[in-house]
Structure 1
């Protein structure tokens, strides 16, 4: 179970141009009133603001992409829970040594609820994501192995087609990222969604228990 899945799906739905559009949610976020006719309306009044805040954080990270922590991905493969088209879950192997993992920034290893961009080259500016021949692909880290933190599980925004060098080139579907198993693949840290996901789940009561998730 991936917490805050609805919020994650909203983030996954944004194109690069959407992320770079500072006015994407202009006029869509109303002032939160002081009184509410029901608890449902109270919770719903915070939904758009948390989406806008997440968008703002992602836009800010894109604007400083050249300084973002980047790392090489050694291996990526479908996990046992991989069930397209919605549950695009992959197991990812990162370099074992921490110094090889993050090439920039202060962070050493990825954490749960980190949002990363996956690319076939190490991006140094926004155009490297926007003008890539491959689709813009995001992934959310939702599991990190406690004993081997270089082994992580991610939910991807789009399918990743893994091809052998000997495999004849086939026509891929729209929005599918094609990767040769022998080619380089990189990840770039963008933001951590932990706080916003916690707020999001608190805004959606559990109808069976009557409590907040």
Structure 2
């Protein structure tokens, strides 16, 4: 499912991707090009960086799914919906984390806000396992808050709040999730996304970047 980069947050775009989108190496092929050295406007300047950011995020997530067998994971003990009209938020508790020192992490894994995870109703050994799951038996989720007062002796966190994709969390699928796998952290991507969409500071940026009728930068 192709989505224009006008979503409120980066995670809104990520949640809109299907598994096929994530694994499609050409998904943004016609959107990502060489970033020009001269821009027609400040809006053009920012837009030139949006699709490269989305492509980088998609590629990282695709790799995370391919390496799912080495990903840190835990078994869900409970997942309770937070009453809110805006987003699907859940308070989550897991038992303990396995594979903490495996995968691409330099340090033993510790849950932090910005972690993108996947909930599933079965243990996952390969990306094919994810593809074989029913649509309502898995979901992507973003860690939004970590309870620092409930950190375990080994430094891991077992209680946190997550935002779950509306599309994949509808129905009774949320009652069937039993495992949680860490995929990537998108904090840096979210910060870049927010900068690229900070319309409130657009006038200041125009004053700084405009040269004659065009925006010019040295790359």
TM-score bucket of the superposed structures, by smaller chain: 0.7 to 0.9
Match status 1:154 vs 2:162? yes
**Partner of 1:137 in structure 2?**
139
User: SS of the residue aligned with 1:94?
Assistant: strand
Which residue among 16, 30, 47 is the counterpart of 1:27?
A: 30
Equivalent residues in 2 for 1:1-213 (5 A)?
5-81=8-84, 83=85, 87-95=87-95, 100-104=96-100, 105=102, 107-135=108-136, 136-148=138-150, 149-158=157-166, 160=169, 172=171, 177-179=173-175, 185-207=178-200
User: SS of the residue aligned with 1:122?
Assistant: coil
Structure 1: which 5+ residue stretches go unaligned?
Answer: 162-171
String of CA shifts for 1:53-110, please: whole Å, max 9, x gaps. Answer: 00010111111111111111111011133x3xx6111111122xxxx22345253431
Structure 2: which 5+ residue stretches go unaligned?
Answer: 1-6, 151-156, 206-219
Q: How many residues align?
A: 186
Whole-Å Cα distance in 2 between the matches of residues 194 and 204 of structure 1? 15
Alignment TM-score, normalising by the size of structure 1:
0.78
Find the structure with the greater CA-based Rg: 2
User: SS of the residue aligned with 2:39?
Assistant: coil
User: SS of the residue aligned with 1:199?
Assistant: helix
Deviation >3 Å, runs of 4+: 158-161, 208-212
Whole-Å Cα distance in 2 between the matches of residues 57 and 35 of structure 1? 29
In the alignment, is the contact (CA less than 8 A) between 2:42 and 2:202 conserved in 1?
no
Give how far 1:49 is off: 0.6
User: SS of the residue aligned with 2:29?
Assistant: coil
Which structure is higher in helix share?
2
